[in-house]
Structure 1
Amino acid sequence: HADLVSVTFNPDGSVTVMDNGRGIPTDIHTGEGISAAEVIMRQLHAGGKFDQNSYKVSGGLHGVGVSVVNALSAWRKSKIRGNGQILEMSFTHGNADAPLKATGSYEQDKQPGTYEGRSGSQITFFPSAEPFTMVELDFGTLEHRLRELAFLNSGVRIILTDARHADVVRHELHYDGGLEEFVKYLDRVKKPLIDKPIAIRAERDGITVEVAMWWNDSYHENVLAFTNNIPQRDGGT
């Protein structure tokens, strides 16, 4: 649903992640009596409590990632855009400062590749120094991972910005070629033995499998496997 994602290292050491997707659900959760957004932020495995058609992340419905980030952050701020409303909520050491509340509105517009008029979510967090001895995040590690995601999600534009220093670094990651372009990137300094990668895509029982292969003049193979965007270090699915 999203075609634009921004990740920014802010000057104060916090990180802001923003997208123009459907936005985190904000309705009152029938089982908990609080907003779905608060359930997602504070409870492990909360993702499985939501209908798969209305709330689904590429890595599955385990509901661990965002609640763990919230718990391990000194503070965290959420801004959610949906149905013309802007709603905000803040947390301190994993606990909500106040219930989710409406703070503004916007004119809805479905123009692709922009945040203007689009639904979506904006999360800003500052890692807590209580569980971590070092709270400075590594730009290179995140760039590597986001580049993988840009290849695996063809057409999605990911903007990574490091504003922690005087010279701001900004990388735009956007690849329309999917896995074919991914293997070309991996082999960019090697001599190919065939003109272009072999690409295979098939779907059965609602499961899609994509494969791209390219031979080069090196003596070592490099096999990368991903399931729902999650890297499988030992291969397999």
Structure 2
Amino acid sequence: MLTPLGIWPSVTNALSSRLTAEVRREGTRWVQEYARGVALGPPAAGGRATGSGTTLTFWPDAEVFDTQECSFAALEERFRELALLNRGLSISLTDERPARRSEPARSVHFRFPGGTRDFVALLDAGAGTPVHPDVVRLEREDRRMAGTVEVAMRWSGSRDERVRSFANSSPTPQGGAHVAGLHDGVAAAIDACARARGPARGQDPWPGPLPTGEGLTAVVSVKVDRPRLHGPTRGELAGAAVRAGVEAAVREGLSTWLEEHPEQADAILRRTGRRAG
């Protein structure tokens, strides 16, 4: 398929009765037409072009979908998510369909300089007062998993754990190896910090492993060449290398952050039961 965007345009192509791919590259506009995933001809030069980029225009297949109308709300939610996961990326969404009387024309624009930090702040809204002001963010490349890991997290007074996980910017609602690695790394970093500080005055000796998830809001996002997705809806990420890579990144990154922010570290230790309140 005439596009540098990876596998997802091919999926869209297969589910469309018609699709037009336009690529602007090196001063030339290239166009290729498809019908139900089959190319109607080779890419053809469509004139001169300024700049570079890719435009896909598609018509959902009525033989596949019950409705061919795209939901603005669903697209808005997904594009906001993508902008949060990819720091600095700008995404605009405009509804150019004829406006209904009860529904004015809509247009939204997303760009989040804080990326996953902003994501955690949004997830934390209404979750109670944060126990420490700063959102912890770390990013690292790991050769074992042949990719990168990015994590942002903060604890609040809520009793719930809110963890959102992604592989190559796609949601993994069943979690998997990257979420397990997050929990492993958080527990190791907090336990090490508590042991290094020793028990507070009047506190019992080291109580042993304790849960760290209560009140935790986190986003864990990995980008790998060949994600191993399991489950009926392919919503669970597998891979021992992914778990090990995320665990190491979180353990080392969070440990460094706790050392550099002693007052906030104390608040986290109290919240996770490692230190008396």
Question: What range is the shorter-chain TM-score in?
Answer: 0.5 to 0.7
Structure 1 partner of 2:170:
230
Shift of 1:165: 4.1
Of 99, 104, 107, the residue aligned with 2:47 is 104
CA distance in 2, matches of 1:165, 1:218: 44
Of 52, 68, 90, the residue aligned with 2:11 is 68
Gaps of 5+ in 1: 1-35, 41-54, 58-62, 107-116
The structure with the largest alpha-carbon Rg is: 2
| 1:84-233 superposed matches below 5 A | 84-106=27-49, 117-166=50-99, 167-190=104-127, 191-205=129-143, 206-233=146-173
Shift of 1:214: 1.2
Q: Which amino acid aligns with 2:59?
A: F
Shift of 1:217: 2.4
Percent identity for Structure 1 against Structure 2 = 36
**1:124-168 CA deviation, whole Å, 9 max, x = no partner?**
001111222211122222222211110111111000112224221
CA distance in 1, matches of 2:98, 2:67: 18
**Which moves more between the two structures, 214-223 or 170-179?**
214-223
Q: 1:182 to 1:165 in 2, by over 3 A?
A: same
| Aligned-partner SS, 2:149 | strand
Q: Which has the higher contact order (CA 8 A, sep 6+)?
A: 1
CA distance in 2, matches of 1:122, 1:56: 11
Q: 1:78 to 1:204 in 2, by over 3 A?
A: closer
Q: 1:68 to 1:198 in 2, by over 3 A?
A: closer
- Of Structure 1 and Structure 2, the greater helix share is in 2
| RMSD (CA atoms) | 2.0
CA distance in 2, matches of 1:176, 1:215: 22
Shift of 1:56: 6.5
**1:18-58 CA deviation, whole Å, 9 max, x = no partner?**
xxxxxxxxxxxxxxxxxx62xx7xxxxxxxxxxxxxx564x
**1:206-225 CA deviation, whole Å, 9 max, x = no partner?**
53222111122222111111
Gaps of 5+ in 2: 179-277
CA distance in 1, matches of 2:80, 2:67: 24
CA distance in 2, matches of 1:92, 1:231: 29
CA distance in 2, matches of 1:234, 1:147: 21
TM norm structure 1: 0.65
TM norm structure 2: 0.56
Q: Which amino acid aligns with 1:177?
A: G
| Aligned-partner SS, 2:87 | coil
